[in-house]
Amino acid sequence: MPGSPLRPSAPPGRRRATAVALGLVALLAAGACSTAEASGGGDPADGGTLAPDAELPTEVPEGTVLRVGDPTTQKAFELAGDDLDSDFSFEIEWANISGGPATTEAFRAGSLDVGAVAEIPPIHATWTGLDVQVYASVYRENWEDAPVYEFAGAPGVELDSLEDFRGHRIAFSPGQAQGAIVLKALEEAGLTQDDVELVELPSTGDVYSTALAAGEVDVAPLGGTQLFRYLATYEADGATSVEHHLRDDASHLYGPTEVVRDPARAAALREYVAAWAAAKVWVAEHPEEWKQGYYIEDQGLSEEDAQYLVDHAPVPDVPSDLTEGIERTQATVDLLAAELDEQPLDAADLFDVRFGPVAGEAAAAARDGGAQ
């Protein structure tokens, strides 16, 4: 969906740093050296090009602007107040853009530098000709107990296992996370696309749950309040859901590769990634504030819906070492390439691993309450 116009937020004077803020500053400064001294590093001040293997710069030149589509993190900064340091040393322009399709379209239009998405958009964007990089990743420590999606059945459709998908019509969005989990589930069940009917539908809003209720599809991946509301409404009519026990928890910050080739924006992004990681921890550790301030007041959810999300909230895993995440992404790429007739990709080429330690160390510092 189209985003609202970008809203500039010029950096105000630095306020008193809290423990977490001090921890982030220390992490960003520790062991840093000027990228201009690194081979092929480029200098943020002279507008050179930053080499892919150069150290990330730490000094953000005056006048640098970073355009960010990450509404939930923006809200976390607002609610956390002095618990998080969101007084960036650059100008940040917040865009009310979220989700894979809208974020990718903004990149294509040249109007966004970084967006927050699930696992599939960076892969799909690459297949559509965009040169993009994943800057940072967060997973779920409790991914088995708090999956993003479950598979819901239409009223009267019996679902006891993934093998029960055989012969059914399944809602499918090939370029999004919901489409990927469908293909992963079929593979896990030993089924192929020939054993089911994949019905292409946009996964936005309540399209999937409406299609289930109307009998247009038999099975669909639902998550969050969509799953909660659907079962609350149709369980009495025989609607059920089944868990898949597969990894569906990857979430990324990503954007055009040109952003990290620009030393000024790369330095700004380094600073943002650290704050983003700390925000993930803050949300997990402040469920009541998040429920009231975000779910109820900002998103307009009912107390019941909001409590459901809190009860099924993820425990963030922000790794410094992205090796395992890249391996899982490679398995996803291989599956999608085979099932959707796309070109093979090396998943490692999608990740800028220089940001991993920045994010991982910032998250660890936030959990510890900041450096003392």
Dump pLDDT digits (tens) for 14-40. 332 333 433 443 444 443 433 333 334
- Give one DSSP letter per residue of 34-75, joined into a string: -GGGSTT---TTTT-PPPTTSPPP-PPPTT-EEEEE-HHHHH
Q: How far apart are CA 253 and CA 137, in angstroms?
A: 6
Q: Does the pLDDT value for residue 245 go beyond 90?
A: yes
Q: Give the H or E element holding residue 135.
A: strand 132-140
Which three-class secondary structure state does DSSP give residue 116?
Answer: strand
Q: What is the mean pLDDT of the chain?
A: 89
Q: Does the pLDDT value for residue 5 go beyond 70?
A: no
Under the banding of pLDDT at 50, 70 and 90, the label for residue 43 is low
Could you give the residue ranges of the DSSP H alpha helices within the chain?
Answer: 19-29, 71-80, 100-109, 120-127, 177-189, 207-213, 224-234, 257-261, 263-285, 287-290, 303-311, 323-340, 355-367
**Dihedral sign computed on CA atoms, order 104, 9, 355, 24:** negative
* pLDDT of res. 28: 42
Which three-class secondary structure state does DSSP give residue 120?
Answer: helix
Residue at 120: amino acid letter: I
Percent of residues, the chain, with pLDDT higher than 90: 83
Under the banding of pLDDT at 50, 70 and 90, the label for residue 85 is confident
Please say whether the beta carbons of 186 and 342 come within 8 A.
no
Which three-class secondary structure state does DSSP give residue 3?
Answer: coil
Please say whether the beta carbons of 173 and 179 come within 8 A.
yes
Q: Does the pLDDT value for residue 56 go beyond 50?
A: yes
User: Sheet harboring 65-69: ordered strands across?
Assistant: 7-9, 91-94, 65-69, 114-118, 251-256, 132-140, 316-317
Please say whether the beta carbons of 243 and 222 come within 8 A.
no
pLDDT digits (tens, 9 = 90+) for 152-186: 999 999 999 999 999 999 999 988 899 999 999 99
Cβ neighbours for 27, distance < 8 A, ≥ 6 positions apart: 274, 358, 361, 362, 365, 371
Q: Does the pLDDT value for residue 239 go beyond 60?
A: yes
Average pLDDT of span 57-76:
97
Average pLDDT of span 72-91:
95
Other beta carbons less than 10 A from residue 230's beta carbon:
22
pLDDT digits (tens, 9 = 90+) for 297-336: 999 999 999 999 999 999 999 999 999 999 999 999 999 9
For the chain, which domains are there?
7-139+250-367 (3.40.190.10), 150-242 (3.40.190.10)
* pLDDT of res. 42: 54
Q: Kindly report the backbone phi and psi dihedral angles of residue 219, in degrees, each rounded to the nearest multiple of 5, phi listed first.
A: -140, 145
pLDDT digits (tens, 9 = 90+) for 263-285: 999 999 999 999 999 999 999 99
Q: How far apart are CA 254 and CA 136, in angstroms?
A: 7
* pLDDT of res. 16: 29
Please say whether the beta carbons of 368 and 362 come within 8 A.
no
